[in-house]
Amino acid sequence: MSKCGYQGDKTQVALQDTKQGRNDLFAGIPCRLRAKLVFMAGQNIILGVSGGIAAYKTPELVRRLRDRGAAVQVVMTRSANEFVTETTLQAVSGMPVRTNLWDPQAEAAMGHIELARWADLVLIAPATAEIMARMAAGAAPDLLTTLCLATEAPVVIAPAMNHVMWSHPAVQENRQKLADHGVRILGPEIGDQACGETGPGRMMEPDDIVAAVMAPIVVANVEPPPLAGKTVLITAGPTREALDPVRFISNRSSGKMGYALASAARQAGAEVILVSGPVSVTVPDGVKCINVESAQQMFAATHEHIEGVDIFIAAAAVADYRPANSAEQKIKKTASEMSVELVRAPDILASVAKINNGPFAVGFAAETENLRDYARTKLDKKNLDMIIANLVGENLGFDADENAVEVYWRDGEQSFPMTTKSALAEDLIRLIFERYLEKLTAATQTALPAIAIRD
């Protein structure tokens, strides 16, 4: 039994299972949080690795899953061996890797049916076009596809392939069939590919896969998560300001930071509304997403949903200016020169910060220079509660998977060094929540009547 008195089966299994090194998980973790972690610690994940170039990312994926407390049994296809070694995956997973359906020794230890029953989740990453075809056809010529048929656990795949392969009608038919069979499909993302081309087909990053499959499950006998009962509205991505029906002015925002914040806020228990410009990032589970294009649409959608919101985070890169007029028909190439008149786009953040008794307002400042001065000026001018500032430029901030930020509030500041956007988002949500609570406490104390103290 655990010292904090939680007596669920999974707790006992986790605390006694020293073979998996799971006891280390509890070092330094307050008692009230342990039960929640224990629940995640009990998850058994079969990680299927098929023969795509993105297999080189799987050792990292195994580590991230184990960091979150899962036991990971790797099952590789024969082709996967060409891209990543069994030795590496065995070392990082701490379990012998399974590759062969006809391995008498492995079958004697845990037969494929027992393995299929052991799993709480079967995750295949990367999933090749070939394995998707086998799974869609219900074929089972190897261990991994046999497990997919024999398990009652949810099956999740993260496809990865060249973008032309991904767009092929046969692959798309298989994707649809698998979705119809209840397989959850993560990504793929649009981006640079190993073949040197760009397009949809990149495997989702390990961090994002982990966030998608391992959102903490809240069990009845643990304290509610910190943001339970709170509503957080987050804007994310770029806006597009139309010049004509086919052209627009936009910026380099990928939306990754805003989406990572939405995922972290959701995991902390909040109701999350995401108002998003056009991006190619997957909406986190349990998050309500409203898709918009222009700054004007983002302004309208934000104000439509702002009532009752506790925390507002403006992570979108909203256009400061928009064309004064948008042509109804495509502008033709007739004049030798042309100029575009721009007018101010609505300032969504300032408008929300002005609301009487409005939400705790957090802004973002992406600057190429004088980060501290510009960010503090914006904090004061817009009367924000907090501002998160980062330098942007080549390989910094926009469209990157990692970020480093400085956070400022009226009487304090904190630096967050370079890390993945999902790890950063978890830290930022924690800090935002602390500052939000502090503001609430201060407001309550001011509202109390003064009591005269006499000797």
Ligand X SMILES: Cc1cc2nc3c(=O)[nH]c(=O)nc-3n(C[C@H](O)[C@H](O)[C@H](O)COP(=O)(O)O)c2cc1C
Neighbours of 319 (CB within 10 A): 24
Is residue 81 classed exposed, middle or buried when 0-12, 13-18 and 19+ CB atoms within 10 A define those classes?
middle
CB of 142 or CB of 207, closer to ligand X = 142
Q: Which amino acid is at 384?
A: L
**b/e string for 248-275 if b means 16 or more Cβ within 10 A?**
bbbbebbbbbbbbbbbbbbbbbbbbbbb
Closest approach of Cβ 79 to ligand X, in Å? 4
Cα 320 to Cα 305: distance, rounded to the nearest angstrom: 22
Closest approach of Cβ 100 to ligand X, in Å? 13
Closest approach of Cβ 83 to ligand X, in Å? 7
Number of H helices, E strands in the chain: 16, 19
CB of 198 or CB of 383, closer to ligand X = 198
DSSP codes, 397-447: STT-SEEEEEEEETTEEEEEEEEEHHHHHHHHHHHHHHHHHHHHHHHHHHH
Q: Which letter does DSSP use for residue 207 in this model?
A: H
Phi, psi of 30 (to 5 degrees): -60, 145
**b/e string for 347-359 if b means 16 or more Cβ within 10 A?**
bbbbebbeeeebb
Which residues, in sequence order, are CB contacts of 314 under 8 Å at separation 6+?
Answer: 235, 348, 349, 352, 361, 362, 363, 364
Closest approach of Cβ 54 to ligand X, in Å? 6
Cα dihedral 437→443→448→454 (10° resolution)? 80
Active-site residue list: 195
Where do contacts with ligand X occur on this chain (CB under 6 A)?
Answer: 50-54, 77, 79-80, 128-131, 160-161, 165
Closest approach of Cβ 167 to ligand X, in Å? 13
CB of 76 or CB of 153, closer to ligand X = 76
Closest approach of Cβ 283 to ligand X, in Å? 25
CB of 73 or CB of 231, closer to ligand X = 73
Which residues, in sequence order, are CB contacts of 205 under 8 Å at separation 6+?
Answer: 57, 189, 401, 420
CB of 42 or CB of 206, closer to ligand X = 206
Cα 202 to Cα 184: distance, rounded to the nearest angstrom: 17
CB of 80 or CB of 89, closer to ligand X = 80
Cα dihedral 375→379→382→388 (10° resolution)? 70
Q: Are 157 and 183 in contact (CB under 8 A)?
A: yes
CB of 149 or CB of 443, closer to ligand X = 149
Closest approach of Cβ 75 to ligand X, in Å? 11
